[in-house]
Amino acid sequence: MDEIPVLVVEDEPLILLDLETALEEAGFRVIGVTTAEAAIKAFDEAPVSSLITDIRLGPGKNGWQLARDLRGVNPAIPVIYISGDGAPYWSAEGVPESIMISKPFAIPQIITALSILLNRQHPTRPGDEVA
């Protein structure tokens, strides 16, 4: 069974490429985009399992606004914020039960955070087989 893709929004192409590559190597399917508007379009076109977004995305909506918009449609979507300067605002601007990871980050931090949020959403029940 194919996994539902992770939506990754990052306006810096090299960081986006690194995230896409690492997440795919970790077994995730990735939809990578560079703007909030492209993210909303991708979200509207196909289901996604979670959102990883930078805070500053250039002109248009920022990552805070994007996550609130997506949570308005899917209140349970896991959200990870990545930013070089957004951490002080996370408690006021971020959506509940999200994770904030400051840049620079190590890719395993992203994968671990994503796994934690997805496992909270779909906990393993006793008797479930783990592959």
Name the residue among 4, 1, 40 with its Cα closest to residue 114: 4
Three-class SS of residue 91? helix
Q: For residue 127, is it within any domain?
A: no
Is pLDDT at 3 greater than 50 in this prediction?
yes
Q: What percent of the chain has pLDDT over 70?
A: 91
Domain, as residue range, for 25: 6-121
Q: For residue 131, is it within any domain?
A: no
Q: How many domains does the chain have?
A: 1
Q: For residue 94, is it within any domain?
A: yes
Q: For residue 39, is it within any domain?
A: yes
- What tokens does 58 get? 């250039």
Q: For residue 22, is it within any domain?
A: yes
Report pLDDT digits (tens) over 15-69. 999 999 999 999 999 999 999 999 999 999 998 999 999 999 989 999 999 999 9
Q: CB count, 10 Å around CB of 111?
A: 17
Q: For residue 1, is it within any domain?
A: no
Q: For residue 78, is it within any domain?
A: yes
Q: For residue 13, is it within any domain?
A: yes
The domain that holds 105 is classified in CATH as: 3.40.50.2300
